[in-house]
Amino acid sequence: MGSYGITYRAIDYMTGNHVAIKQLRRTKSWTEDGKKSFEKEKQILQQLSLSEVPAVHHPSLNEQDRFLVMDYVPGKNFEDLIFAEGMVYSEQDAMAIFTQVMKIVQKIHEKGIVHRDLRIPNIISSGGRLHIIDFGLACKLSAEGQDKPTEQHRNLMREVSVTSDFYALGHFLLFLLYSGYEPQSKKENSWEEELSLSQEVHGMLRRLLQIDESFISAEEIIAHIQSISDRRETTKIM
């Protein structure tokens, strides 16, 4: 259940396949904003056409309700994996997962789309592959969105800019890295004080979270991860 929609798993009796059906909430279905949001999500899913993103099928419309019929992605999201199943990810594990996610995000950005909601419930692990779901807040990128001026108290996850996805993925990576953290005291400290990270990953997180100068593209992040890996391999050889 979300602010705009409710999603169900169902069976398509024409094919026998499981599908996901997202229904626009009744309170939203009568508003122009609600209708436009739903239509935008459908168009974005159609535009993406990626194996790591649920495909949208025939929409169903009637006078009372609006639906999106999409591929059902079996698997578990990272919120369940971390908090319900107690999965623990080492820095190496976390970076491997993060790299997979970044490669999907790179494809999404190349299609001119920014997700704006890359939280742990919206990233699913399914049969060893990762999928990104819930494009309800996604937007098309534009020159204006990329060049949007910054404000002191802006919502960094909701900007129509690729950096909003990088900021969200910084938090996604922190959730993975915190999965094995055991507090040493009742006092809460910042992640920089609590987590024992390599210098390279610590520096990358600061850039993702826009504490330091932000990355400007998914390609730059992937290249940065590769450079970290190359340096580590060189160190091993030496």
Amino acid at 223: A
Residues 21, 7 contacting (CB under 8 angstroms): yes
Q: What values do phi and psi take at 29, rounded to 5? A: -65, -20
CA contacts within 13 A on the Cβ side of 39: 8
Question: DSSP secondary-structure letter at 58?
Answer: -
Six-digit token string for 76: 């578990």
State how far the alpha carbon of 172 is from the alpha carbons of 42, 46, 178, 209, in Å: 25, 26, 10, 11
117 carries an active-site annotation? yes
Among 12, 33, 65, 117, the one annotated catalytic: 117
Strands (E), 59-212: 60-61, 66-71, 76-77, 113-114, 123-126, 129-132, 139-140
Strands (E), the chain: 5-11, 18-24, 60-61, 66-71, 76-77, 113-114, 123-126, 129-132, 139-140
**Got the DSSP string for 155-170?**
-TTTSSSHHHHHHHHH
Residues acting as catalytic residues: 117
